[in-house]
Structure 1
Amino acid sequence: MPRKRRVVLPGYPHHILHRGHNRQAVFKEEEDYLKYLADVKELKHSFGVDVYAWCLLPEEVHLLINPGPDEGALGSFMKSLAARMTRHRNRREERRGTLWESRYRSSPVQPSWLLACDRYLEQLPVRLGRARSVEWYPWSSYSERMQRGGKPILDLDPDYLALADDELHRRIIYERYAQQTPKASETALIHDAVERNQLTGDPGFTDEVEALTGHRVSNRGRGRPRRRRD
């Protein structure tokens, strides 16, 4: 059976999932996490992509990326990131072979779902039992979003910017939002969409994407995530 065509939408955010080969650990030491984030910071400028959120887990990476107007930027960015980490691990461990699954997974995201996806990525360590709360996990974008240290990588997405007119109030509102437990249907939609290379968004997003691409696409989404601003 032929592989399903990956949909890339220039100018739209994409939720990316890239796992280690056979679910092996990609990050074993603090040095590995720091190396990957340094590469993200450098390469996002090289390829002109925006990074709206991220979460690094030992065996997989989640990124929320806007590739900008160049359709090929997303693939080039991910290919370079993966190659650099593979070389880093191979040199250190005197090993050969692949580190990653051959294909990363990608889900184009409807802009009105950006805030829900930010929260999904930053809550992953809590849902998986890796941290007690979002602020206790060092390898997600949450600490930078709250300006609690680290080198700046994060680009603030339009949904986040719309929370308030100034950054202090945005952070206060988002902190409350990130502490809330989303509906199970919202979490399942975002999870399943990226696992299946489908769309993340409302049912009407399918029509929008089909009009843009001229191709039939799938969207598992049912309804818009509820945003709480207080």
Structure 2
Amino acid sequence: MTRRRQFNPDSYYHVIMRGNNRQPIFGTPEDMNELKRAFFYTYKRYPFTILAWCFMTNHYHILIKPKEDSLSKIMAMINRRYSHSYSKRYNHVGRIYQKRYFAKEIASAYGLLVVSSYIHRNPIQTSTPLVKRLAQYPYSSFPYYWDEHVPAPPYLDRHFLSSIMPYPHDKTNAAYCQYCLKYKQEVEEDNDVSLCTTQFHNPHS
């Protein structure tokens, strides 16, 4: 019998979802946009807050806190919505995800800074960086921190991380972005860690 996960409703969680057999199930701009739509669709039904996300071609990371409904319910709807779209668009039969999502509670301010930075740095931590500058990566929340004039999705809270920046850093998004750019982070992941190096079309390159 599968053991039910215990979640703290007041905490943020680092969530990772991977493609089956390391396949690039988010390998095109159309795939990425469909994944974004899955998040919007789910948010309207089961509200949540995200501090950071990064969609790579064979996995994605989010730093998320549910507002009312369980994390399991939120993740089930996101992944089911995307899986249905993927199967329809590619005439695919069978599962597309490697296994159930990985989730780890992040219980401290320092942990939130480290994990969010780790998530944002994914595009430049691959063996071949996907972009030269993090602000150029279009499938991450980092550009919304970099340019506060860009309208953000309703579920992104881009004020909280800057508010917990430690001294001597300024409590601004500019300071947070510099923190991300300066420090390479290491965090706990699931047991099958594989950084994706598949290239995609970057409209900002």
Matched letter for residue 171 of structure 1: N
- Call closer, same or farther: CA 1:160–1:111 in 2, change over 3 Å: farther
Q: Does 1:155 align with 2:157?
A: yes
- Call closer, same or farther: CA 1:119–1:148 in 2, change over 3 Å: farther
In 2: Cα distance, 1:4 partner to 1:131 partner = 40
In structure 2, the residue matched to 1:174 is 176
Higher helix share: 1
1:57, CA displacement in angstroms?
A: 0.4
TM-score by length of 1: 0.71
CA RMSD of aligned residues (A): 2.4
Structure 2 unaligned regions, length at least 5: 192-205
Q: Does 1:143 align with 2:143?
A: yes
In 2: Cα distance, 1:25 partner to 1:98 partner = 13
Structure 1 unaligned regions, length at least 5: 197-230
In structure 2, the residue matched to 1:203 is none
> What SS class does the counterpart of residue 17 from structure 1 fall into?
strand
In 1: Cα distance, 2:41 partner to 2:158 partner = 17
- Call closer, same or farther: CA 1:160–1:169 in 2, change over 3 Å: closer
Equivalence map 1:1-230=2 (5 Å)? 6-68=5-67, 70=69, 73-112=70-109, 113-128=111-126, 129-146=129-146, 147=148, 149=150, 151-152=152-153, 153-156=155-158, 158-163=160-165, 170-182=172-184, 187-188=185-186, 190=187, 192=188, 194-195=189-190
The Cα offsets for residues 110-130 of structure 1, whole Å up to 9 and x where unpaired, read as 131112211110001101122
Matched letter for residue 78 of structure 2: L
Q: Is the 8 A contact 2:164 2:171 kept in 1?
A: no
In 2: Cα distance, 1:150 partner to 1:130 partner = 24
- Call closer, same or farther: CA 1:155–1:143 in 2, change over 3 Å: same
In 2: Cα distance, 1:3 partner to 1:42 partner = 28
Q: Is the 8 A contact 1:50 1:67 kept in 2?
A: yes
Q: Is the 8 A contact 1:11 1:69 kept in 2?
A: no
In 1: Cα distance, 2:140 partner to 2:43 partner = 17
State the aligned residue count.
Answer: 183
In structure 2, the residue matched to 1:201 is none
Structure with the greater relative contact order (CA < 8 A, sep ≥ 6): 1 or 2? 2
Percent identity (aligned): 22
1:169, CA displacement in angstroms?
A: 6.3
